[in-house]
Chains A and B, each alone.
Chain A
């Protein structure tokens, strides 16, 4: 199932946002907010924090819309990156640690499932799916944990039970192999 909204529309909407058109921001909200909350929640793991992320991200989309240009990639990628960055900053500020420990343990398994689901849900024709599939499991896992779950090098090393230096270099090599595969 094609889940994408129409990219040309987001492009137009960003331009309209830059000139002060709130209806254009609303259009972005209507099209993308559901996915953006879900993406933020995969990282910060609590719904109310995820909504906070998306709220702040929309203010930033509004105030920075004038900076968007096609050489920054797709409008959608630009919008999603703002949400991802907000979510990751919230994590690194230590907000995730405030979660009650039991809840954390429970959600940990849930999140591991979410992370693999993101890969399995990729379109069968998708290059990214094939290229991730071609990596060995630890590298694939490390990359998905970072991108989908917002894990740091240290967290990935801990969860995969490998030394930090090894985690860093495996991920680096995995990313390089992925770029080559998708080039």
Chain B
């Protein structure tokens, strides 16, 4: 398929909309691997139209579909990942985990308060932002209560709130521990969850007032970190 250089954006749009003949579409797919301008035009076009898909009402999907997918997955050619008891995204999180560990140690020294309580938390997680700065500390007592202490003044718009989440297991998915409304430190009374484990993921996100409407995190992540045993 030959096309004018100044038709690239138009061809990219027609490809993304699915309007090209199958043979043309296949050629475009091959061509984009060697033509950076075409690749960029397709990327831009996809992201331009994405909101039409992102706003769709989700269908209810059951476990059968996942089982079919999982049963058909071939092994990756790359080396297998290191075995780990942790369900979270190991590779992507590793750096976060290491910085969180360092931050935990610093805070454990700096914030002796958390170690001198009568009731000890089961785990402590230091939540850090993308820049690696500690933003909040979550102490999970494992009896439906957790405390969160913000270490940073978040700029929370009037119609938003900060919501605290944890990921007890990937089967359960992220569970809300509660909301932090314009205070620096709060005791949360969350749902009954399995006992918090070492390496369990905690995070805070910015959600609409009253908390996420879906029961799952929807807003931007302000900070996240992995739990360490408190004692």
The residues of A with any CB-CB pair to B shorter than 8 Å are 1-6, 8-9, 12-13, 15-27, 29-30, 33-35, 37-39, 41-42, 47, 50-51, 54-55, 58-59, 62-63, 66, 71-74, 76-78, 80-81, 84-85, 88-89, 92, 118-119, 121-123, 126, 128-129, 143-144, 146-148, 150, 152-153, 171-172, 175-176, 178-179, 182
Contacts and interface: CB of A to CB of B under 8 A. Distances in A.
Interface stretch (B82-90, B115-123, B145-153): B82-90
B10 A172 contact: yes
Contacts of A9: 89, 221
Contacts of A85: 18, 25
Given A26-B170, A143-B17, A153-B19, A21 B52 contact: no
Contact of B78 (A20, A41, A118): A20
Contact of B91 (A15, A22, A26, A42): A15
B30 interface: no
Given A118-B52, A147-B52, A74 B47 contact: yes
A55 B72 contact: yes
Contact of A59 (B25, B69, B75): B69
Majority secondary structure, A binding face: helix
B223 interface: no
Nearest to A12: B92
Given A4-B218, A15-B92, A171-B19, 11 more contacts: A3-B55, A12-B92, A74-B50, A77-B50, A118-B52, A121-B56, A122-B51, A123-B51, A147-B17, A152-B19, A153-B19
B89 A76 contact: no
Nearest to B212: A2
Interface in B27-67: 36, 39-40, 42-44, 46-61, 65-66
Contact of B46 (A22, A78, A172): A78
B217 A62 contact: no
Contact of B90 (A4, A16, A119): A16
Given A16-B92, A19-B79, A81-B46, A54 B65 contact: yes
A176 B221 CA distance: 36
A21 B48 contact: no
Nearest to B72: A59
Chain B interface size, as a band, is 35 or more
Contacts, number: 197
B76 interface: yes
B61 A92 contact: no
Interface of B: 9-10, 13-14, 16-19, 22, 25, 36, 39-40, 42-44, 46-61, 65-66, 68-70, 72-76, 78-81, 87-93, 170, 173, 205, 208, 213-214, 217-221
A2 B208 contact: yes
Nearest to A66: B78
A5, A21, A25 pick with most chain B CB within 10 angstroms? A21
Contact of B53 (A35, A89, A171, A175): A35
Nearest to B68: A55
B221 A77 contact: no
Contacts of B220: 6
A1 B170 contact: no
Contacts of B173: 30
B61 A73 contact: no
A71 B43 contact: yes
Nearest to A32: B58
Contact of A58 (B69, B214, B219): B69
A101 B208 CA distance: 45
Contacts of A92: 22
8 contacts: A5-B218, A12-B92, A23-B90, A26-B170, A34-B61, A39-B56, A41-B59, A171-B17
